[in-house]
Structure 1
Amino acid sequence: MLARYMAGAVAARTGDEMSGPALLVTGLAVTGSPLLASSVLAGLTVSAAVGGPLLGVLLDRARRPGRVLGWCLAGYAGGLLTVVGGMAAQVPGAVLVGVAVVTGLLGPALTGGWTAQLPLVAGPARLERATAFDSMSYNVAGLAGPALVGVIASAGGGVMAALVSVAMLVAALPAAHGLPSAGSRSAAGEGGAPKAGGDGRAAGWRVVREEVRAGFRVIAANGVLRRATVASMVSCCGLAMVVVSAPVLGARLSGESGHGALLLAVIAAGGLVANAMLSGTSRWAGSQAAGSQAAGLQAAGTAVLGAGVVVMACSQAYWMAVVGAAVAGAGEGPQLTALFAVRHREAPARLRGQVFTTGASLKITSFAIGSAVAGPLAAYSVSLALLTGAALQAVAVAVLVVRRRTSAIDAADTAAGGG
């Protein structure tokens, strides 16, 4: 069951990772400017702020959450297909952005939606190791997705790369439909929220509103979870600038925008290698000692990510950009693992799905903001766009380090006063 889950998660996330670079390469080829492509990408991601929390409630309350995931995958694939066809047919940009916004409502299902179902598949005995594998799957998808886009776009164009992205999403449908039913939550130790009955739609919507609020409240009230979430949002906004700038940087340094997508694959490869080098990853992810160190690892990873982006911004040759991308990936991989460790340690079991999908939606929305800003910046100066992304990584580090030190000082003062 776990192997089937991982296969579906990798396929869905690879299709998701392919979709952004494929849209960017297609838009750049059609218009010659990154502005339309970045606007469509921003539209695809901005609506996640609404879609993520609602999807979390639906998944937590559904008797067959796999079917909900399946419908989300199918809808997302259909939306991507519509956007790519519209680009090729020179449909007005406003229409394409509108379709992308509607499609983006389903985006969190490809990330947090899968992770939220992991306890149903693994059970408490294997959850720590399964969490480590699940974290690694993001790096695998991030490596395979942009690499496939780079190769396919160089051989057959951006439209072909987008079609392969859609095919990957469709390939994940059987694994989604095969996920266990919600009745096995008790076996997984999750004790999910009670399901709403079929009577009284008004009462049902009140429950949904309360559960959405509960997901946001638990993030806001828990200082460790709040800092990790805010820092991940700021960092993701900066990472969006790297994603949007990569095809432009690749075209500037090598004459081929598809080579820019390969830079994103290098970032993912760096993250995969860095995570693999973390000794005892599964034990670290589930231990209390590791949980106390997670914020430090997240801060260190974010700092390394920013340093790699600076190298990319200053690159005068393609090989220099590759080196910068590898450094950035070496920070981005452990950063994500640390974030997952914080969520699993700090989130209440009953609201774990809400915490993961809400956290994913907040990151995706931050990515949308970064994409929207990065388009005009990259059109003016790709180096300026990348340096802005690096500056945001520095802000994210400050969120983690400064607030953590302030909390430690306050705790020490409280202890001294109490003595």
Structure 2
Amino acid sequence: MRKRYALGRYTAGATAARTGDEMAGPALLLAGLAVTGSAASASALLAGATIAAAVGGPLLGVLLDRSARPGRLLAAALAGYALALLATVLTLGRTPLGWTVLIAVCAGLLGPALAGGWTAQLPRVVAPAGLPRANAVDAMTFNAAGLAGPALAGVAAELAGAGAGVVIAAVLICLALPAALGLPMATAVPGPPRTPPPAARPASATTASGTSATSATVLGGPALERPGGVTDPEPARGSGLPGAPAGDMGAAFAPEPPAAPVGNPGSAPGREASQAPEPAPVPEPPAAPVRDPGSAPEAAAPVTPSTVRDDLLTGFRAIARIRPLARATAVTTISCAGEGMLVACVPLLGERTLGGTGQGAALLSAIAVTALAANALLARRPRLLRPETVLAVSPVLLAAALALAALGGPLPLAAAVVLAGIGEGPQLTAVFAIRHRESPAPLRGQIFTTGASLKLTGFAVGAGVAGLLLDWSLPGALLAAAGVQLLAALVCVAWPRRPDAPRHTPRHAP
């Protein structure tokens, strides 16, 4: 399947969809400003399309994980997103603004499909050995989209009117539909089933890796496959672990009755043997019933399928309790709030330093070029840096870039652009690597889309806070954004780390 679906096809589809997504935001902003003449109305459109991702991302991820054909569901989400964008621009100025904002919110619900929903399918496209390089290539599609999308929105608005940019964005998203439809099928039945009753559990059998088959069953169900061939047992009933439904573990862990004493300790062996009671006769096991060969096979133990609500809770617990996932999610969400503050400051920064508000878009493009170059280096040498190292260092680089931008002047600003790109690009590659490595396979889609949703929400909150600070001072807003990035670095360093443990269960002694 991986040979038939090449990484190039995945990359082409992801680049087209993400370029359309990056183009849609500025195009909606320009269209809203041109039609309504109000910056507040234009910002309401963009905010509605951005904040709604916090709600749509987790649910979309669960549905992708439960689907046997995630590519079809992803294609449906892309088509719905494109149609909602077109409906937004067609109703703008023709209906009350509230209805148009509501349509933009509906579009935002499907937005995470272009980010986390697509990236979650990457392990089905490439072999595990090629995943580090594929992560870097995937992150480059975001950088390329961030470079081309806003520029295309501006050119389309100049040549064909403000609404043309939204239409072109929808067309680019639709160009990715063939690549989404061709994504490989899921390799297993989606959605881990709930545990059968203890009486129906099979007898213990030791696998080739040394783990007990009963241990996986007692722990709550089938093993969850993780990237790299490692398996995690599904959490136990009532154990409080991720995905554990409430239940009584007494039957599962009932202690065995103690063995009968053989003799009195300290007595002579001969006397002990002579006084030992006669062993009770062992009853013969009942004969297995003879089944008619023509009869129907016996029904298997009933297994209750998990619900969408259960899977949602399981995914949130996994993000919260798997420490590398929790740390990466917290750090990137805070860091994205700082990036949102930077984007809000860019127009004034361009006006005061480069002579025009339009030069702010050039600053964002320069940052995207630097980030693209940094990720291109990581694609050639994917094991150059550990993801945890990048995650800790990137917010520090972004904080330094924001502090330099607050100084003013062309030279500090040029240095700030370079540092921001070096910090922003590899951070995305690092978080992809951590999520692919740590996410249980049945929850990968939800973990990626939830992470993307939280980052978008952090970005929107940061942009809103910066808008309030800009009325006070541009350098003050930039220094506040630098403080947010330092907070992200502090969270990364202070987050408790899990104790080192072997990746595979040791083989039991015979």
TM-score when scaled to structure 2?
Answer: 0.68
Counterpart in 2 of 1:369?
461
Counterpart in 2 of 1:304?
397
| 2:426 aligned counterpart, secondary structure | helix
**Which residue, out of 481, 485, 495, partners 1:403?**
495
2:281 aligned with 1:276:
no
Change in 2 beyond 3 A, CA 1:379/1:78: farther
Shift of residue 326, structure 1, vs aligned partner:
3.1
Shift of residue 371, structure 1, vs aligned partner:
3.2
Change in 2 beyond 3 A, CA 1:216/1:328: same
Change in 2 beyond 3 A, CA 1:156/1:377: farther
2:342 aligned with 1:242:
yes
Counterpart in 1 of 2:168?
164
Shift of residue 316, structure 1, vs aligned partner:
5.0
Q: CA–CA distance in 1 between the matches of 2:418 and 2:91?
A: 34
**Which residue, out of 329, 338, 341, partners 2:430?**
338
Change in 2 beyond 3 A, CA 1:376/1:37: farther
In proportion to residue count, which structure has more helix? 1
Shift of residue 7, structure 1, vs aligned partner:
0.5
Q: Within 5 A, what are the aligned runs for 1:2-401?
A: 2-29=7-34, 34-87=39-92, 89=93, 92-156=96-160, 158-183=162-187, 207-251=307-351, 257-278=357-378, 281-283=381-383, 293-316=386-409, 321=413, 323-378=415-470, 381-401=473-493
For the 8 Å contact 2:331–2:488, the answer to whether it is kept is yes
Farther off after superposition, 258-267 or 231-240: 258-267
Q: Report the residue type matching 2:173 in the other structure.
A: L
Q: Report the residue type matching 1:260 in the other structure.
A: G
Shift of residue 390, structure 1, vs aligned partner:
2.3
Farther off after superposition, 237-246 or 123-132: 123-132
Shift of residue 77, structure 1, vs aligned partner:
1.6
Q: CA–CA distance in 1 between the matches of 2:17 and 2:43?
A: 22
Shift of residue 104, structure 1, vs aligned partner:
0.9
Q: Taking every aligned residue pair, what percent have the same amino acid on both sides?
A: 50
Higher RCO, Cα 8 Å, sep 6+:
1
| 1:282 aligned counterpart, secondary structure | coil
| 1:179 aligned counterpart, secondary structure | coil
Which structure 2 residue ranges, 5 or more long, are not aligned? 191-224, 232-303, 501-510
Q: CA–CA distance in 1 between the matches of 2:96 and 2:354?
A: 30
For the 8 Å contact 1:151–1:258, the answer to whether it is kept is no
For the 8 Å contact 1:250–1:258, the answer to whether it is kept is yes
Q: CA–CA distance in 1 between the matches of 2:117 and 2:369?
A: 24
TM-score when scaled to structure 1?
Answer: 0.81
Q: CA–CA distance in 2 between the matches of 1:96 and 1:133?
A: 36
Shift of residue 214, structure 1, vs aligned partner:
1.3
Shift of residue 117, structure 1, vs aligned partner:
0.9
Q: Report the residue type matching 2:361 in the other structure.
A: A
| 2:183 aligned counterpart, secondary structure | coil
Q: CA–CA distance in 2 between the matches of 1:294 and 1:160?
A: 40
Q: CA–CA distance in 1 between the matches of 2:100 and 2:348?
A: 21
Shift of residue 323, structure 1, vs aligned partner:
4.5
Counterpart in 2 of 1:197?
none
Deviations 1:171-225 (A, max 9, x none): 111211121222589999899xxxxxxxxxxx77x52111111111111112222
Deviations 1:204-247 (A, max 9, x none): 7x521111111111111122221111011111112122223334
| 1:122 aligned counterpart, secondary structure | coil
Q: CA–CA distance in 2 between the matches of 1:253 and 1:220?
A: 43
Q: Report the residue type matching 1:299 in the other structure.
A: A
| 2:68 aligned counterpart, secondary structure | coil
Q: CA–CA distance in 2 between the matches of 1:185 and 1:265?
A: 43
Farther off after superposition, 383-392 or 173-182: 383-392
For the 8 Å contact 2:405–2:478, the answer to whether it is kept is yes
Change in 2 beyond 3 A, CA 1:32/1:72: same
The Cα RMSD (Å) is 3.3
Deviations 1:102-153 (A, max 9, x none): 2111011000110111122223343333222112222222222223234444
Deviations 1:250-308 (A, max 9, x none): 45555654432232221211111122234854345xxxxx5xx4233112111112222
Q: Report the residue type matching 1:389 in the other structure.
A: A
Which structure 1 residue ranges, 5 or more long, are not aligned? 192-202, 285-289, 412-419
Farther off after superposition, 261-270 or 108-117: 261-270
Counterpart in 2 of 1:200?
none
| 1:182 aligned counterpart, secondary structure | coil
Q: CA–CA distance in 2 between the matches of 1:158 and 1:323?
A: 33
Counterpart in 1 of 2:294?
none
Change in 2 beyond 3 A, CA 1:385/1:86: farther
Deviations 1:365-401 (A, max 9, x none): 2222223333444466554443332221111111112
Aligned length: 389
Larger Cα-atom Rg: 2
For the 8 Å contact 2:350–2:357, the answer to whether it is kept is yes
Change in 2 beyond 3 A, CA 1:125/1:331: closer
Change in 2 beyond 3 A, CA 1:158/1:248: farther
